[in-house]
Amino acid sequence: MRRFPWITASVLALAVGAYLVPSIGELLILDRARVAAGEWWRLLTGSVVHFSASHLGADALAFGIAGALLERRGRATFAALTLASALAVGLAVLWLEPSLERYAGLSGVAYAAIVALALAGQRDPGTMATLSRIALVACVAKLAWELSTGRMLLAGAPPGVVAVPLAHLAGAITAVAVSGMKRRGGTALLRHRVAARRRGRVSA
């Protein structure tokens, strides 16, 4: 039996808890004034807070599916991607959206998981590689539309909540960076093993 995606489940549980217990959500939401006062953890935890049930549902569905599939490919890499994308989203909002006083939502981290899964699937055989390419093109097209219009596709945020396409861009860039580092690391390891085998044959 494949291992259970504990990281994905833990993030979703935290998101649900933050929504059901408002005091937890207030402690975790990315609040610009609070961050300036020294509460730096909010840069990471703002992603698990949501403004409505539909907002939470849409983000949880996307992250839950992509996260579970990606985590089964490599838990350590997925953990690094999740933390890095949450931080990247927080920093992007803090630095590049100065008019935004508060930010919440898992969509940026979910976008990172979706893009990373599509990139990883490029190396799969047959139909999976084709589906991964289609998914990657769809992600790029969706992101381009959101950045050009300032609106979100398939968003579940309530009326009055400002869309932040920058969060998706930060997630996508993080996915490309982490996937690239993993690929380079895997290539270097393979070369090291090949070289070690060759040295073993020569010495024998």
Domain definitions of the chain by residue range: 6-177
Q: Within 10 A of 1 (CB to CB), how many other CB atoms are there?
A: 3
HEC profile for 68-112?
HHHHCCCHHHHHHHHHHHHHHHHHHHHHHCCCCCEECCCHHHHHH
Q: What is the pTM of this model?
A: 0.86
pLDDT value of residue 2: 65
Q: DSSP of 58-71, one letter per residue?
A: HHHHHHHHHHHHHH
Report the CATH number of the 6-177 domain.
Answer: 1.20.1540.10
| Each residue's pLDDT tens digit, 73-106 | 999 999 999 999 999 999 999 999 999 999 999 9
pLDDT value of residue 45: 98
Tokens of 166: 């920058």
pLDDT value of residue 201: 54
Rounded-to-integer distance, Cα 44 and Cα 55, Å: 18
- Tell me the average confidence (pLDDT) per consecutive run of 10 residues in the chain, 204 residues long: 88 98 98 98 98 93 97 96 98 96 96 97 89 94 91 65 89 96 63 56 47
Question: Which residue in the block uniquely carries the two structure tokens 């935290």?
Answer: 14
